[in-house]
Amino acid sequence: MKPSVVTIEPNGHFCSDCGVRGSAVCSSLEPAELREFEHLGRRVHFSSGETVFSEEDITTSFYNVLDGVMRLYKLLPDGRRQIVGFALPGDFLGMNLSGRHNFSADAIGAVTVCQFAKAPFGRFIEDRPQLLRRINELAIRELSQARDHMVLLGRRSADEKVAAFLLGWRERQLAHKGPSDTVPLPMSRQDIADYLGLTIETVSRTFTKLERHGAIEIIHGGISLLDPARVEALAAA
Amino acid sequence: MKPSVVTIEPNGHFCSDCGVRGSAVCSSLEPAELREFEHLGRRVHFSSGETVFSEEDITTSFYNVLDGVMRLYKLLPDGRRQIVGFALPGDFLGMNLSGRHNFSADAIGAVTVCQFAKAPFGRFIEDRPQLLRRINELAIRELSQARDHMVLLGRRSADEKVAAFLLGWRERQLAHKGPSDTVPLPMSRQDIADYLGLTIETVSRTFTKLERHGAIEIIHGGISLLDPARVEALAAA
DNA sequence: AAACGCGATTGACCCAGATCAATTTTGGCC
DNA sequence: GGCCAAAATTGATCTGGGTCAATCGCGTTT
C-alpha cells in the first residue's frame, strides 16, 4: 500500500543453494545453465505491506518468490477488492500478454523475491524450451486452481468457503513445512474475506461458529484443526 | 449430458483452409509443419448437449475448437454447477498436469473440434518451441480471464454481473463476427446463471429490468444493446 | 500503567438475491 | 394446426450474509 522502499541484496548469491531450487521455474535448469541464470536475477526484499507491483504497471520484471507470502488482488474502481490468490515460495509471477501486470501484489509480512528484468529473461528462455515448459506447467497449475476458486466463489456457502480455505491453506503449507493440523494464517481477516468473496464480519463469525462446534481452535496467528474430518465434511468436496 | 455419439469426418481435411487457422494453436506453425500437423488431428462433430469430455476422465486427447460453442463446467457432489468458461472457435482444451481433465465440456448447439491424441501431439510439440510458446500464450490469456471472472463472482452485484456478461460476450463475438450491438446468446438462462454464480430467476429478472429501463431488448436467441453506454455504466468497469 | 490504535469479534437489523410456486412462452413433432 | 415438454418469466416469500455500530483484546507508545 505505502510507497515501496525496497532493499536490494548488495552481495551475490547462489541459485544452487536457493531454498526454492527444487520447486520453482529454475528446477528445469541444468547446473551449467543455472550458473548463467544466476546472473539474471537479483534478490530483493520487501517488508510487510509493501507493494511489489501494481495492476496497471507496465511489466518490466518477472518475480520468483523465495520467501514469505504475497496477496495477489484486483480492485474495482469503487475500492471493492478481490484477492485472486496468495503467492508462496516457488511461485512465479509476472507472465502476461498485455504487457501489463493484470493484478497487484503486496507482501504479507517480510518477502524475498528473485527479480528478473523482462528482456534478458525473455532472451534466456528463447533457446531453452525446458524452461518454457516449466513455466507452462506452472501456468496450467494456476489455471486449475483458478477454476477451483471460481467454483468456491460462485457456488459455495460461507461455511463451505471458510472450511475449504482452511484445508486448502493447510495443503499448501504441507509442501513447505511438514503435515500439521495447525494452520498458520499470516494474512488478516480482511484478506481472507476478500479472497473468499465475503465480509470480514462473516469470516469472523464463521471462525467463531466452527470453534464453538469444536471443529477448530482459534490460536494466535492461525487456526488449529481439532476435528479435521468435520472441517472436511463442511467443505463438502 | 447424454451418451456421446460422435461423428468422425470420413474424408481428409486441410489445415490451410481451416477457419481458425489464424487464431488457434496452429497459427504458430509454418506451412511445411502444418502439413505434418494435419495428420495428427481429426475433425469430430458433436451435436447439441453432447459431452465432449468429463471432469474425472483421464486425458487422452487435446481439442481445438473449430466451430460452435462449448460450456466448460465443474460440478459439486450435490449437483451445484459452476460454469468456468465458454469455449469458442480457436480455443484449445485439454492441457492439465494431473492427467485428468479438471472440468467437463458440453456442446452448446452443434460443435466441430479438431481432436489430437495426447501422445503424438506431445511428441510433435517436443521439438517445436514456437508451438509450445503459443500454447503458453493461450494459457496465460485464459488465466487472465479467469482472474477477471473471480472478481465478478466474488465482488459484483447481480446487475453488474449480467451487464458485464453481455459486454464480455459481445467482445468475444467481435473477434469472430464483426462489431455489433446485437449479442447472440446460444446458451440457456441456466447456463448464464451458472456462469455468473446466480439463479436462473435472478438472471431472467435482471434481463427484464434492463429491458424495462430501455438499456436492452430481449430478442429471439439473444439480446440487443439499445443503450450500450448504459450497460457499460452498470458493469462499472 | 495509562492511553492509544487497530484488528477482531459480537450484536441488531436489513436487504439482495434465493427459494418456492405458478403461469406463460417457445419449440419440436405428429 | 394442435399437443406436449422444456425453457423462460413472473410473483410471493424467505433467509444468508451484508451493513451498521459497539465493544473487545492486545501490542505499542509515552
pLDDT tier, A38 (very low <50, low <70, confident <90, very high otherwise): confident
Average pLDDT for residues A59-87, to the nearest whole number? 97
Name the closest nucleotide to A190, judged by C1' and CA: C7
CA dihedral over A54, B155, B78, B142, signed as positive or negative: negative
The average pLDDT across A36-53 equals 93
Which of A31, A158, A33, A47 shows the shortest CA–CA distance to A108? A47
Q: CA angle, corner B196, sides to B194 and B197, nearest 5?
A: 65
Phi-psi region of A46 (alpha: psi -120 to 50; beta: other; left: phi over 0): beta
Query: Is the separation of the CB atoms in A24 and A63 below 8 Å?
Result: no
Tell me which H or E stretch contains A151: helix A129-155
Residues 59-78 of B with CB under 8 A from A: 74, 76-78
pLDDT score of A99 more than 70: yes
Rounded to an integer, the average pLDDT of A17-22 is 88
pLDDT digits (tens, 9 = 90+) for B187-215: 999 999 999 999 999 999 999 999 999 99
- Mean pLDDT, all residues of chain A: 92
B199 touches strand C (CB under 7 A): yes
In this complex, do B136 and A135 lie within 8 Å of one another by their Cβ atoms? Answer: yes
Q: Is A236 on the interface with B (CB under 8 A)?
A: yes
Mean pLDDT of all residues belonging to chain B: 92
Mean pLDDT of B56-76: 97
Cell of A154: 460462485
Query: By the CB < 8 Å criterion, does A233 face chain B?
Result: no
Distance, CA of A186 to chain centre: 12
C-alpha to C-alpha distance for B11 and A181, rounded to whole angstroms: 59
* Residues 7-46 (B) with a CB less than 8 A from some CB of A: none
Lowest mean pLDDT among A200-204, B128-132, B164-168: B128-132
Confidence of residue B110 (pLDDT cuts 50, 70, 90): very high
Q: Which of B136, B144, B236 sits opposite A102 (nearest CB)?
A: B144
More confident residue, B13 or B216: B216
Q: How far is it, in rounded angstroms, from Cα B207 to Cα B225? A: 11
CATH of domain A7-152: 2.60.120.10
A–B: how many Cβ contacts below 8 A? 112
* B57 neighbors B34 (Cβ within 8 angstroms): no
**B134-153 per-residue burial string, b: 16 or more CB within 10 A, e: under 16:** bbbbbbbebbbbbbbbbbbb
Q: Where are chain A's structural domains?
A: 7-152, 156-235
CA distance B62 to chain A (A): 14
Burial-class residue A57 by CB neighbours within 10 Å (0-12, 13-18, 19+). middle
Per residue in B123-138, pLDDT tens? 999 989 999 999 999 9
Predicted confidence at residue B2, as pLDDT, reads: 41
pLDDT of residue A1: 46
SS3 category, A8: strand
Q: Tens digit of pLDDT for each residue in A51-67?
A: 999 999 999 999 999 99
pLDDT reported for residue A11: 45
Q: How close, in Å, is residue A80 to chain B by CA atoms?
A: 7
Q: Return the ∠ at Cα A150 (arms to A145 and A156), rounded to 5°.
A: 115
CB nearest B236 (choices: A77, A133, A144): A77
C-beta atoms of B142 and A141 within 8 A: no
* A85: alpha, beta or left? (left if phi > 0; alpha if psi -120 to 50): left
Type of residue numbered A198: L
Q: Would you tell me which residues have their CB within 7 A of strand D?
A: A 157-159, 197-199, 201-202, 220; B 188-190, 200-201, 203-205, 207-208, 218
Q: In chain B, what residues touch A155 (CB-CB under 8 Å)?
A: 76, 80-82, 197
Tell if the CB–CB gap between B151 and A84 is shorter than 8 Å: yes
> What average pLDDT does this structure show over A36-58?
94
Q: Nearest Cα to A113, choosing from A169, A163, A63, A181?
A: A63
3-state secondary structure of B144: helix
A147-187 confidence digits (pLDDT tens)? 999 999 999 999 999 999 999 999 999 988 888 899 999 99
**Do A145 and A68 meet the contact criterion of CB atoms below 8 Å apart?**
no
Joined grid coordinates for residue B134: 503459443
Alpha carbon distances (Å) from A80 to A159, B106, B157, B237: 22, 34, 11, 12
Q: Is the CB of B96 less than 8 angstroms away from the CB of A137?
A: no
Interface membership of A218 toward B (CB under 8 Å): no
Q: Strand locations in chain A, DSSP E?
A: 7-8, 41-46, 51-53, 61-75, 81-87, 92-93, 104-117, 182-184, 216-219, 222-225
The reported pLDDT for the residue numbered B178 is 82
The grid coordinates listed for A163 are: 472450511
Domain B156-235 has CATH 3.30.365.10: no
pLDDT tier for residue A81 given thresholds of 50, 70 and 90? very high
**The domain defined by B7-148 carries CATH number 2.60.120.10:** yes
